[in-house]
Amino acid sequence: MEQLHWVRHRCQQLLGADTGRGWYSAPNGLPAKNSPEPHSSPHRFSGKRRTVFARNGPHQAEYHSISKGYQGNAIRTTKYSLLSFIPMNLFQQFHRAANLYFLFLVLLNWVPVVEAFQKEITMIPLLVVLSVIAFKDAMEDYRRYLFDKRVNNNIVRVYSGKQKAYIDQRWQDVKVGDFVRLSCNEIIPADMLLLYSSDPHSVCYIETANLDGETNLKQRQVVAGLPLQGAELTPETFHSRIECENPNNDLSRFRGYMENSSKVRMGLHNNNLLLRSCTVRNTETVVGIVVYAGHETKAMKNNSGPRYKRSQLERRLNMDVLWCVLLLFIMCLTAAVGHGLWLKQLKDPIFLLADDTSPALAGFYVFWTMIIVLQVLIPISLYVSIEIVKLGQIYFIQNDLALYNEQLDSGIKCRALNITEDLGQIQYLFSDKTGTLTENKMVFRRCTIYGVEYPHEDNARRLEVYEPEESEVPKRSLTLRSGCSVKSLSCRSLSCNHSSVSLHTLTGELEGDEEEGPSCPSQPQTSAFCSRMAKEVVPDPSLVKKLNCLASPLLPLSDSSSGAPPSLELSYIVDFFLALAICNSVVVSSPSQPRHAMPEARPPLRSLEEIKQMFQRLSFPPFSALSTLSPNQTRDQSPRSFTSRLFSRGKAGSTPTTTTKERVDLDQEAHLEASIVEDQRVSTGSSGKEEGDMGCHKLEDKETENDLKNDTANPGRTGDSLEDLTEGSGQCREVGAEDDADKLEYEAESPDEAALVHAARVYRCTLRGRSTQTLLVDLPGMGCLAVRLLHILPFDSSRKRMSVVVRHPLTGQVVVYTKGADSVIMDLAEAPQGAEESYGHIRNQTQRHLDNYAREGLRTLCIAKKNVEEEEYEAWLKRQLFAETSIENREELLMESAQRLETNLTLLGATGIVDRLQEEVPDTIEALQKAGIKVWVLTGDKQETAVNIACACKLLQPSDKLLTANCGSKDACAALLQELRVEVEHGEEGSAVGRAEETSAPTASASILVIDGRTLDWALQDELKRDFLEVSRHCKAVICCRSTPLQKSQVVQLVRDQLSVMTLAVGDGANDVSMIQVADVGVGISGQEGMQAVMSSDFAISRFKHLRKLLLVHGHWCYSRLANMILYFFYKNVMYVNLLFWYQFFCGFSGSVMTNSWVLIFFNLLFTSAPPLIYGVLDRDVAADTLMDLPALYKAGHNSKIYVPSMFWVTILDAFYQSLVCFFVPYFAYAGSDVGVLSFGSPINASALLIILLHQVIESHTLTWLHVLVLLGSAIFYFAFILLFSVWCVNCSPPLNPLGNETLQMSQPLFYMVCALTTVMALLPRVLFRALHNTMYPSAVLNAARIDRLDPEQYRRRMQHWNQTQSRSKSLPVCVDNPGLEPITDSVVS
């Protein structure tokens, strides 16, 4: 097994954040970290909490007293044991009302006065159904048992107090408080606090793929404040007490504190917790203490089993079952009244009657007898048959090759087993944009810095012709089959950064490899979001030209005559790319280094004296901020005092003036530009003259580069911040020089981060290493710089931004670099004092560029910075440390602290990232709209971006009217919604009139509503949601921009509940989970953002285009098959039961039957049970290709046209008619003869069987050899059974004797004549009616089925004619990046 299936298949809800607060802060707050007086502000907790002591530590008495109630680490996912299986399984099965009903009938038949059949015979149907389900449950539980056994017997090293060493123990023997030692590639056996890591920076990397499907690495930190930090922990000396929250299923939160012997408390948070089922990566050794074990771990708390929903068809089925119950009650009441009246009017009976039984009491007894006789009217086998049919449907869906993605080696996964028919009734589809409609493979496209736009036209041309190489196509993941011990699974070295391990290594599949050495090479693993398309960004020549100024030994002047950028603009550019390189959580690795090792900083390519001269020539005005540096900082940074003047001008007042003018050396100016864009120019067909010029420049640049390398000096510039860096390679280079020997790989948590880091690297602002406290960055012309990382303020959906707080490597000043949504950053950015005019120009230009990016369909991010004074930083740091070490309200305090720092930002620029549409998205959406499905797009992107993508994917046509709702207040929103409501209603009436006047005209324009997040908040309020719903209902599509995850779920719930329609939500990320769970059908796409959406979905697909066949083909088939099968079940049961009912009119309503009880019980249970199953799994009314080509056929399921109340009652009436024919034709044929009761019933049973089987042939759209085999098999089985029964059965059906009855009847010609006449008369009306109706009023499905039978040429012509008459929409032209990007000429109402 490749993964821990008990986690992968059963984790249902990954909560983004816990809104509840289980911890409450004291009024005075908490003491700061390592406070010597922890009780000065007492902790208060709500509810219960968990206290953990070391199992082998000094607090043995306390450990044994509190650990008795904690669970062990053994897991058990089975439902039953050998002793409990029978009682528990029966208990669960009798939760079904149908099973309880039939149990009641069995018990009722044991009452002598109402007994209808032999007691044993009545039990057979119930026993068969219970046995089949019990066998299925037993097999499933046995598989769970084998898996549990395999997992519980895995080996891990646990500290033993007796042996004073780590020994091998099974997972199931691990206890809370145990010290566990893990090595590289080992799977974590329980939730434990990280107390030691062999990493020099006290961090550990884990892979959570078994938990949430994400392959990118997560960083975890050793608990801060531990004594002997960095030294391996000695369990005997661990005196600390751990207080933490009780076990819960929130994977993103962990709260608690650790109190040492000195009563000093250290806060614990989620970054200190190693979760069960995750894998240790890139760390040789880690040690932790178990806090949650077994079923108390977060992974097992999320193990909630498969999803079960009630389908709409099932809800309607339950209603029809109630109608059958009512029908049964009427029939039994009729029999009871009839029996009472018959007895009352009976005089001088020739048979014996009980003297003391009154007619009323006898009628009461007959009522219950008839309940037993007519029990088949409530089909016990229907529910079991539906489950079997749905399993068959799921099998064919999951094995459809058209839904298989070869690149990802994944097909569709059906996680909800009982809503397949809902796929055929979808009316509203709600889709995320990024990763759902688009690839979510972000590629840097263009940027704007300092108000100057850099279009990157060569980069655009590259994306137009880009095609993925064969080597880039993901292959099936390889399992690490190293020679590591099966017991320890340690790599024993640090070179394990590219290895992978699966559960194969834990379940005995590597026993044969145990003798191999530990030096077996590991298989490479593809880095997250590192495609060739994202890496090979073509730089903009003008931006390269400006960056040349940093690499040039002869610094150009900053006036306009020289062509060099002003110094302020240059500082903006460098800060911009520095922010792209470091404002992220990217993990860096290379083939020669593990991810946690950092290459040491090398000396810069130019000497410090050259840097000094370079910045002296800029003639910067004095910089007062340097006076705020501490003496240590001034000493460390003194060689760069001149350099600091450039980067300290983030909030400078104006562009500095130059005092001298010199000519720029053209060869030096072209140095960077030629070296970077050489390959791109050659590939685009540059002239021979240009190539010759570039060659000359390269020769001259080579000499200059050699001179610069010879002048490199003073390696001691890195200061104290690099003392803890590990050794490694990483010689810094100038822009344009690429060293193939040192290929860095980036593990990013999102594709946006990866795209920006790769873009910065193209301009040689390269992130080379990362530790918890230091970042190593190459800057052009400055070499490798060590950037001290002070804080990371991570991204969250509320702030919509991420920030890093660093100590600038050149100025020593505290700087905040922020990136985030433009709507947020623009509000936080403010003009520096004295520079309002110039900064206002930069801001306006940047906003204009952002609007252009959005219109092109690009994802936009704004980049900003803030220089923080030391006093301000110290004051903020106190609050930040308090928030980080707080137990109560930690998330709220951290957000408040981040918001306090992220103010008065200086806008540096913005980026435009292209996220290409997935293949066939426009065709899929067009087909879904033709199928009558309204498609809504719910996205967090800008309005312009969302509208552009909607146009690209054909959701928005050029003739459509675009209605925008962007309001500044609730009152304005209410007025606008009223106006829009009137407009769309009048527009709909006008279009209807137009269509009525001229049917051959193209379809009238439809309305598309575009609403932003703020307006949507007001529209979802109780006073306005009805108007919003009315406007939306009349629109062809709705686009919700800047919407939050909560708003997405609210919109889906509003449409589902208020309009009573079938909804489907599709998404790929954690922010789509709530929307997916609220919808009737949730579809998750296994994309670039992990598996949260997949694990919360009902169906998991790999591409959006698969929705087309999933809904239009499989959805149509599943609904039509199941609906027809249910109607057929009701028909055959009512038809056969009525035969028994008609007989009561001729036997005094006594509850007698004209057939033996064995045939009566087996008729529906065995003889006619198999054909409906084949019908429900394999019937096909229209071919798959036709359903794909004619989406309009899908509309049949919208209003449940196949299974509607009228069809149910028509089926019941037809069953009544056929039962009358089936009973009275033999009755009149044998009238006046001396045949017995069983002889009279024999042709009735045979005719009923033939009628029921041939009825299915008439209703079936497909007749294959398998159908014929099952139908003939059922008939042969029936006749073989009754013949054998009549031969050897003497007294097995008292009081009647069936011996020789069937053989006698089947030897007479009258028997066959009666059967033939009865069958023809019963089925003839249905055949005639169907033929007449299909001739005069053929349905679209019937017409499509006729097209299927045509030859290919006729088929093509008929399809063209169909499309011309059914679809009149115009298609948009397609471009490469985002197909269909054209100016929108719609009328806009706002």
Question: Which two structure tokens, joined as six digits, stand for 1140?
Answer: 């028994």
Q: Average pLDDT over the chain, rounded to whole?
A: 75
Is the model's pLDDT at 608 over the cut of 90?
no
Give the span between the Cα atoms of 595 and 746, in whole angstroms.
9
**What is the pLDDT averaged over residues 880-888?**
77
pLDDT at 855: 83
Name the active-site residue from 178, 199, 320, 432.
Answer: 432
**What is the pLDDT averaged over residues 552-572?**
62
Omega of the bond prior to 42 within 30 degrees of 0, cis? no
pLDDT band at 1109 (very low <50, low <70, confident <90, very high): very high
pLDDT at 61: 77
pLDDT at 156: 95
Question: Which two structure tokens, joined as six digits, stand for 833?
Answer: 């004092």
pLDDT band at 331 (very low <50, low <70, confident <90, very high): very high
Give the span between the Cα atoms of 956 and 948, in whole angstroms.
9
3 state SS of 597: coil
The residue ranking higher by pLDDT, 227 or 44, is 227
* Poorest-pLDDT segment among 169-178, 395-404, 639-648, 1181-1190: 639-648
**What is the pLDDT averaged over residues 224-236?**
73
Is the model's pLDDT at 885 over the cut of 80?
no
Give the span between the Cα atoms of 418 and 391, in whole angstroms.
8
Beta strands in 359-425 (DSSP E): 413-414
Residue given tokens 């203490």 in the structure block? 289
Give the span between the Cα atoms of 611 and 949, in whole angstroms.
47
The residue ranking higher by pLDDT, 1250 or 685, is 1250
Instruction: Provide the 10 A C-beta neighbour count for residue 688.
Output: 7
Establish whether 432 is a catalytic residue. yes
Residue given tokens 């050029």 in the structure block? 958
Give the span between the Cα atoms of 362 and 795, in whole angstroms.
78
Q: Are 711 and 610 in contact (CB under 8 A)?
A: yes
pLDDT at 1198: 66
SS3 annotation, 1224-1292: HHHHHHCCCCCCCHHHHHHHHHHHHHHHHHHHHHHHCCCCCHHHHHHHHHHHHHHHHHHHHHHHHCCCC
Give the span between the Cα atoms of 172 and 1220, in whole angstroms.
67
Give the span between the Cα atoms of 1081 and 1088, in whole angstroms.
22
Length, in residues, of the chain? 1390
Residue given tokens 């435009």 in the structure block? 912
Is the model's pLDDT at 168 over the cut of 90?
yes
- Tell me, rounded to whole angstroms, the distance of Cα 1021 from its chain centroid: 28
Q: Using N-to-C axis directions, what is the helix angle for 1237-1259 and 1205-1229, rounded to 10°?
A: 140
Most confident range (mean pLDDT) of 222-226, 554-558, 1163-1167, 1274-1278 is 1274-1278
The three-point CA angle 623-624-625 to 5° equals: 95
**What is the pLDDT averaged over residues 1202-1231?**
90
pLDDT (tens digit per residue) in 1322-1356: 999 989 988 888 788 777 776 766 666 655 666 56
pLDDT band at 103 (very low <50, low <70, confident <90, very high): confident
**What is the pLDDT averaged over residues 1122-1135?**
91
- How much of the chain exceeds pLDDT 70, in percent? 71
The residue ranking higher by pLDDT, 672 or 336, is 336
Q: Are 145 and 78 in contact (CB under 8 A)?
A: yes
Q: Are 1305 and 1246 in contact (CB under 8 A)?
A: no
pLDDT band at 329 (very low <50, low <70, confident <90, very high): very high
DSSP per-residue string spanning 196-231:
EESSTTSEEEEE-HHHHS--SEEEEEPPTT-TTTTS
**What is the pLDDT averaged over residues 1208-1232?**
92
Q: Please give the single-letter amino acid code of residue 911.
A: T
Is the model's pLDDT at 40 over the cut of 80?
no
The residue ranking higher by pLDDT, 612 or 462, is 462
Is the model's pLDDT at 34 over the cut of 50?
no
| β-pair partners for 206 | 218, 280
Q: Are 519 and 510 in contact (CB under 8 A)?
A: no
pLDDT at 699: 34
What phi, psi does 686 have (nearest 5°)? -70, 155
**What is the pLDDT averaged over residues 511-528?**
37
Question: Which two structure tokens, joined as six digits, stand for 1085?
Answer: 């796409």
Instruction: Please provide the distance, in angstroms rounded to a whole number, between the alpha carbons at the two ends of the chain.
Output: 56
Query: Residue 926 burial (CB < 10 Å; 0-12/13-18/19+)?
Result: buried
pLDDT at 286: 93
Closest C-alpha among 1175, 1061, 1078, 1199 to residue 1118: 1175
pLDDT band at 1110 (very low <50, low <70, confident <90, very high): very high
pLDDT at 1106: 92
pLDDT (tens digit per residue) in 1281-1292: 998 888 887 677
Give the span between the Cα atoms of 345 and 362, in whole angstroms.
13
Give the span between the Cα atoms of 1228 and 192, in whole angstroms.
83
The residue ranking higher by pLDDT, 835 or 658, is 835
Is the model's pLDDT at 723 over the cut of 70?
no
Query: Residue 699 burial (CB < 10 Å; 0-12/13-18/19+)?
Result: exposed
Is the model's pLDDT at 701 over the cut of 50?
no
pTM here is: 0.69
Instruction: Provide the 10 A C-beta neighbour count for residue 377.
Output: 23
The residue ranking higher by pLDDT, 1367 or 1113, is 1113
Q: Are 1094 and 7 in contact (CB under 8 A)?
A: no
Helix (H) or strand (E) holding 1038, with range, is strand 1037-1040
Most confident range (mean pLDDT) of 677-681, 764-768, 795-799 is 764-768
Radius of gyration of the chain (CA): 38
Q: Please give the single-letter amino acid code of residue 772.
A: T
* Poorest-pLDDT segment among 705-709, 848-852, 961-965: 705-709
Give the span between the Cα atoms of 767 and 987, in whole angstroms.
56
Is the model's pLDDT at 22 over the cut of 60?
no
| β-pair partners for 863 | 819, 909
Q: Are 391 and 282 in contact (CB under 8 A)?
A: no
**What is the pLDDT averaged over residues 1191-1204?**
74
Is the model's pLDDT at 746 over the cut of 60?
yes
Is the model's pLDDT at 660 over the cut of 80?
no
Instruction: Provide the 10 A C-beta neighbour count for residue 412.
Output: 23
Q: Using N-to-C axis directions, what is the helix angle for 1116-1144 and 1170-1178, rounded to 10°?
A: 160
Give the span between the Cα atoms of 140 and 870, in whole angstroms.
64
Is the model's pLDDT at 610 over the cut of 80?
no
